[in-house]
Structure 1
Amino acid sequence: MGEIYPASSHAFIQATPDGVIADPEPVAIQRPGTRHFIVAVDFGTTFSSVSVYCQRDGIDIDTSQINSISNYPGAMSFMSQGLTEVPTQSWYPKQGRPIRQPVDTEINAGNGDDLDESTDVVEDETIVATHSESGDHGSNRQGIEEADLMDVEHDEDDVMDEDDKIRDHIYWGWEVSKFMTDNDIYGEQSRHIARSKLLLDHSSHTKHIRNQLASTVKDLRARKLIRDETDIIADFLSRLFRHTKSEMNRQHGYRNDCSVEFVLCIPVMWTEKACRIMQNAMTRALREAEFIEHSNYDVDNLFIVTEPEAASTYALERSREITAGDCFLLLDAGGGTVDAITYRVASRSPLRLEREEFDPEASHTELEEIEKGIAIEGKINELLLKFETQIKRGVDIYSSDLEPERLFVGGLTAKDNEKYIKPNRLIISKNDFRNIFKPCLDGVSELMFSQLRKAEKAGVEIGKVILIGGFSSSPSLHHHIKRQLEQYSQQIHRQIHLTSAPMPGTAVAHGAILRAANKVDGPERRIRSSYGIYCTERYEPTVWEAHAKVNPWYDPVDGKRYIKKSIDWIIDKGELLPSGKIITRQVLHTFPAEPGIEFICEEVLCVSSKHHESHYREKHAQNKGYEIAGRILVDMTFLKDDPNFHPVEPGPGGKGQLHYCVEFELVIKVYDRNLRFEARYPAGEDGAVMGARQISIAASFQPGTA
């Protein structure tokens, strides 16, 4: 859609009535006996887990058959941590690979000069549907050929680091822990990515962690190891999904013809945009793991649920102590943050929760401060790893049996009779443990009391506190919260009970599967994003206010006046978007009648977290903050062989030139949590699909929406 001919064209989009309701997109028919899998991912700040359920036709879900993925690479060295969680960390090689071939075609939306500085552009996938004998579209594809494409390799070749003489590739999870203890990598921390989840958390209490990650991200981008922050998350997830796929095959005989529904667990505090970034990272990762085989498809019908709702579903599924109308406080103590949220049980069967009106609260747990307590001349990685995997979660500072911890450090010698250093030993005393843990525990309980006080003030009677999250397995935290609740219960003359989710490390992923298996009575389908399409509109300043005081563009082909690259917002934030909605637009592209011209037509889909007015140019302030959601390139050159297809003379006045008019129909189809964007020729239900792109819109709905 540029101004240079004959390489490009423009499109005139004519609006047609919206809101036609049709049957949802047909679901592919499976062979009898084909199994269906539900795979839930709990992408945690410090640890992640995956739960899998293999469902057969007509059989209700059996909670005892929900399995946690285990056998993670490198985990055998750290049995005390358990094998159902994997550290959320990656270790990058020193150098990127100059030639990198992507699984899918991801390009940016034109040159940087085309975009306003305030406009965010994210990855999108371009699919060329070709009907010509030649696959070469000349300069029409220049943007794709020159894009800075990065490699996503399935079989990573080992590269020997010339300095260290060690295998140099991306390590992940427990492999990183082992790698960091086996090698002298102090000063190489710019290659280590941990707590990448906090890149999507823009709250003030995680700002200092994001600042630390920012320098690492900058360094990795400079070395061509990543394109953006999304790649950091996708690189970890792709390896997690590859391992998941391998374990599904080993344990359940998974085959590529088995259907899989993916469930993503997210923090309740995340914005719609953060959800969308995570959704994009998940799509990239699933492509690399070959769960998604078609590059023009996102993850199909992704289901998103909040971590607190998933954990509550698992914790309360069999509980007889809670009924409809009861209120409870959910205390989610993760590895990096703590969330305190008050819920009311809306219904017992199926279990559905409603969040109370007063705001949820979050706080940074300062758990990394615990690790800083054992630093010696910089961090000794082996000590930190042992503390994280074997000591920290088992320490009970309230136990009378608490003993000092003597950590082996070969060659360590004491100076000037240092109290806590002995030959080859670093000693952490009981008081050290208390001093390290107590500030963190006090912060968690203060967050809890803040919510309890708000509830009391609002007349909400909380009868139970449910402790979830990876840190909830800490005996110190459990005993601390229990003591604090007992004292508070005496003050208000009413008992508040404390309960913990079983298997806290996997409770979120297990509960997400239960929630995904029963989606009835979920939130209404009210969209939280706006979706639009690029168009070149006829210049009509008396009809559209957006065209007033704007200089039109004269098309040298047909000689008419247009507003180039405006956005027609076809789905508006806040509207109810039923599954099955179809929106159509008639599209006209013009091409000069010159030899060698190929009819390459580009259509672009946009998304935004805001409400926008249509008809404004894409760089206008009205469109600030939009992103590219996807695009299709359609090759209509085959029309030249149609004897009924003829060039058109320019209009009266002699402007323009002899040209071709290529017309087809854009169809936007919404079904479940997918949006399909396709070009049809000829227009109508009987037309052939010339090009299509399917994106996930799960992140644009409230979590839990069917």
Structure 2
Amino acid sequence: MAQARIVIGLDFGTTFSGVAYSDKPDAPVEQINVVQTWKGAGSITSKEKVPSRIAYLPPPPGQSGVRVVWGDEIKPHQHKVPIHACMKLRLDDKHKLSPELKELMTLLSADVSEIDKDINQTHPHWRHRGRQQAPPAYPGKNVVEIITDLLSEIRVKTYDELKERYGDAVFASMRKELMVTVPAVWSERAKGLTLQAVVGAGWAADKISTVTEPEAAATYTLRSMIESSSKVEIDIGNTFVLCDAGGGTVDLISYKITHIEPRFHVEEAAVGHGEKCGASFIDKEFLSWLQKWIGATRFNQIPFDKKRHGSRMMKDFEANKLGFDGTDEGMAIRLPSECGILDDSRLQMEDGTLFMTGNQMKQVFKPCVDRVLKLITSQVDAVLGAGHQKPKMVFLVGGFGKNDYLYKMIEKFCLRRRIQIRRPHNPWSAIARGAVCRGLELDSSSIVAVRLSRGFFGVGLGERFDASKHSELSAYICPYTSAKMASGQMSWLLKKSERLPQSNPKVIKIAACTKFFTAGDARTSAKLVTCSEDVAPTDSRHHDVYPVCTVHADMTNVPIETFEKEMNFLTGVSYYEATFELEAQFQGGNITWRCLYQGQEVGSTTVTYDF
């Protein structure tokens, strides 16, 4: 009898996380199960997800250790401790945090111990708090360890539900396959950090794989259409834009439909992109608006704990935000008594409650909505610029994608351009459900047959110094040949927007040469870097170039007589020289490496990230 198999989809999000699962390969997508029994989940949010936040409480008197609270268990008015949130945004920290992101992280009480000074200097909302009140650093843990703790709590809750559903013995005997979703634009470093946290959290699966969030969302959305009457709306050659509007980020990617029968396949039609303009930034805009509405003095009288994420005031606002559809109905927000306003008709206050109008809420939504529409415009233009037909549809998923006002604004935008808009059932859990869909596919064929490189990829090499093109800042003297060299000269191996077929992986061989004095020194390394700009620089030190990983090749087990022996006639010192190749294979959004010497794989190749 074949071993029972269960596929679990883990969607670790910026503000909310979700888990889906199924043991039925042929089940319709609507029958994929979603964990919904999160402890402390309130009525103002769907139980499909749990807040991605965690806090550490001091031990009870006479006891040691800390007590962990997470998700909706955290009560800001009860737990006067730092709340760690927005942690996902720190995993791919290749860019300096923008001022507005710093402010958002303060609102969510994330780890901003190193940036609180910037916040207090540049943002009047928090200037009154004073540096001594800034959120302290993580409790002796780095961001990956904090995420590990959160994912461990999510795992325990998930496994408890699965054991209750299948029984302890049956669940223990099942083959477990975990699909972890990651942003499409994430670096290899960020993917590695995510998997490090997942494994450290005890997700003891027989197989752990990653799938990009847009691919998971597209898989769920397209399968939903195929399994419904909406199948007639799509045809070979159609292109569509997928907009994943989440809590922290809004990510877009476009696809072209290449096959429908017997198996659905799409190709990326344009390079995906996104911005940090998700639903949580609307909370920040609300606080900006509130400060102007009631005045800075009254606003600053409100304690920080009563205007941060999870406070009563912000919960009231979030409930109105989630249900806002552009009308004036029912937008009541209870303000803390410290603001000193009980009744004021001019300020729309009654019994300490602020009654916002629809137009005021639209003002709060406007910056984020405008940025989403700009992203969609940019993606549509990119599809047309790549020579494809105009997108037929925009698919809207994600937590922010549930909002009816955002949907209406995108619908209005699309109608002017004769583009349709579709929002699948369960848009908030579309990524977790789609991850399960992808994992249930018995063969290795992905729904995405061709991807596009999201940037240039290459290595910085040393070459003979040429004063006409090299800066003296790059100059160095080779210790083996005594020649003057220029370091960090870029050799771009993969171009931005280059096609990467799933069935025919792109293989790149990097010709390299290393020199050493003894066999024990036969090691070398190469740093893979990337650039997402449209024009790639020539020097690896350029500010638009970011490291991806460092590849280490160890050839100490190759007989020393195999290598060329050379002599530095200036010093009379002999050395060995090995000309070899580092082979990189790009497939499925991942990179694998081999070290080749004289055409054969030799030694060992390892990859490290700047954890």
2:398 equivalent to 1:469: yes
Name the CA distance, whole Å, in 2 between partners of 1:455 and 1:648: 55
For the residue of structure 2 that corresponds to 1:367, the secondary structure is helix
- CA offset at residue 462 of structure 1? 8.7
Alpha-carbon distance, 1:465 to partner = 6.8
From 549, 560, 571, the equivalent of 1:629 is 549
Q: Which residue of 1 aligns with 2:432?
A: 509
Q: In 2 relative to 1, CA 204–495 (structure 1 residues): closer, same or farther, beyond 3 Å?
A: farther
The residue aligned with 1:22 is none
Partner residue of 1:387 out of 291, 316, 327: 316
Contact 1:265 1:509 in 2 (8 A): no
- Provide closer, same or farther for how the CA distance between residues 52 and 545 of structure 1 changes in structure 2, counting only shifts above 3 A: farther
Cα deviation, residue 161, structure 1: 10
Which whole-Å CA distance do the structure 1 matches of 2:389 and 2:505 have between them? 36
Deviation at 1:233, TM superposition (A): 7.3
CA distance in 1 between partners of 2:545 and 2:333 (Å): 54
Q: Give TM-score scaled by structure 1 length.
A: 0.56
Deviation at 1:506, TM superposition (A): 0.5
**In the superposition, relative to structure 1, how do residues 159 and 369 fare at CA in structure 2: closer, same or farther (>3 Å)?**
closer
Question: Which amino acid is the alignment partner of residue 305 of structure 1?
Answer: P
Residue 591 of structure 1 and its aligned partner are, at CA, apart by: 2.5
**CA distance in 1: counterparts of 2:396 and 2:46, whole angstroms:** 20
Q: Are 2:77 and 1:181 aligned?
A: yes
Alpha carbons 2:335, 2:352 under 8 Å: kept: yes
Partner of 2:11: 41
Give, in whole Å, the separation in 1 of the partners of 2:240 and 2:564: 70
Partners of 1:79 and 1:512 in 2: CA distance:
26
Give the match for residue 121 of structure 2: none
Say if 1:354 and 1:221 are closer, same or farther in 2 by CA, change over 3 A. closer
Partner of residue 313, structure 1? 222
Report 1:408-557 matches (<5 A): 426-429=352-355, 432=356, 434=358, 436-440=360-364, 467-474=396-403, 500-514=423-437, 517=441, 519-520=446-447, 522-524=449-451, 526=453, 528-532=455-459, 553-555=477-479
Is the CA contact (8 Å cut-off) linking 2:265 and 2:447 kept in structure 1? no
Deviation per residue, 1:448-500 (Å, 9 max, x gap): 99879x999x999998775543244456666x669x86x998xx8x9998754
Q: Identify the residue that residue 485 of structure 2 maps to in structure 1.
A: 563
Contact 2:265/2:448, CA 8 A, preserved across alignment: no
Bigger RCO (CA 8 Å, 6+ sep): 1
Q: Which of 273, 278, 283 in structure 2 is aligned with 1:368? A: 283
What is the DSSP-based 3-state SS (H/G/I as helix, E as strand, rest coil) of the residue aligned with 1:305? helix
Structure of higher CA gyration radius: 1
SS in 1 for 2:154: helix
The share of aligned pairs that are identical, in percent, is: 14
Q: Retained in 1: the 8 A contact 2:510–2:583?
A: yes
Q: Distance in 1 between matches of 2:366 and 2:147?
A: 33
Q: Deviations over 1:522-552 (max 9, x none)?
A: 3256573323276x66x5979x987999866
Show structure 1 runs of 5+ residues with no match: 1-30, 94-157, 697-706
Partner of 1:607, secondary structure, is: strand
Please state if 1:282 is matched with 2:251.
no
Q: Which residue matches 1:579?
A: 505
Q: How far apart, in 2, do the equivalents of 1:472 and 1:356 lie?
A: 21
Q: Normalising by structure 2, what TM-score?
A: 0.63
Cα 1:68–1:683 change in 2 (3 A) is farther
Instruction: Report if the CA contact (8 A) 1:50-1:69 is conserved.
Output: yes
Give 1:377's match in structure 2, choosing from 302, 313, 323.
302
- Give how far 1:507 is off: 1.9
**Secondary structure class of the residue paired with 1:603:** strand
SS state at 2:571 partner: coil
Q: CA shift at 1:670, angstroms?
A: 1.5
Q: Please tell me the residue identity of whatever aligns with 1:437.
A: M
Q: Match of 2:526, as an amino acid?
A: V
Change (3 A) 1:304 1:604: farther
For the structure 1 residues 395 and 358, does the alpha-carbon distance in structure 2 shift closer, same or farther, using more than 3 Å as the test? Answer: closer
Query: Tell me, which stretches of 5 or more residues in structure 2 are unaligned?
Result: 117-135
Is 1:591 equivalent to 2:489 in the alignment? no
1:66 counterpart letter in structure 2? I
Deviation at 1:377, TM superposition (A): 1.7
CA contact (8 A) 1:39 1:52 kept: yes
Q: Kindly tell me: are residues 227 and 308 of structure 1, through their superposed partners in 2, closer, same or farther at Cα, counting changes over 3 Å?
A: farther
Change (3 A) 1:193 1:652: closer
Q: In the superposition, relative to structure 1, how do residues 675 and 466 fare at CA in structure 2: closer, same or farther (>3 Å)?
A: closer
Q: Where do 1:260-271 residues align within 5 Å?
A: 260=177, 262-264=179-181, 266=183
Counterpart of 1:656 (choices 566, 569, 572) is: 572
User: How has the CA–CA distance of structure 1 residues 356 and 320 changed in structure 2, closer, same or farther, with 3 Å as cutoff?
Assistant: farther
SS of the residue aligned with 2:113?
helix
In structure 1, give the amino acid aligned to 2:571: K
Give the one of 96, 101, 104 matched to 1:209. Answer: 101
Shift of 1:244: 3.7
**Counterparts of 2:193 and 2:249, CA distance in 1:** 22
Corresponding residue SS for 1:49: strand
Contact 1:326 1:344 in 2 (8 A): yes
Deviates more, 1:352-361 or 1:378-387: 352-361
- Cα distance in structure 1, aligned partners of 2:312 and 2:183: 31
Shift of 1:85: 0.8
1:693 maps to 2:587: no
Distance, in Å, in 2 between the alignment partners of 1:225 and 1:205 is: 18
1:655-688 alpha-carbon deviations (Å, 9 max, x no partner):
233x6638585542426344333457x8554x6x
* Secondary structure of 1:522 counterpart: strand
Query: Structure 1 counterpart of 2:399, which letter?
Result: G
CA displacement 1:125-164 (0-9 Å, x = unmatched): xxxxxxxxxxxxxxxxxxxxxxxxxxxxxxxxx76599xx
CA separation of 1:364 and 1:63: change in aligned 2, threshold 3 A: closer
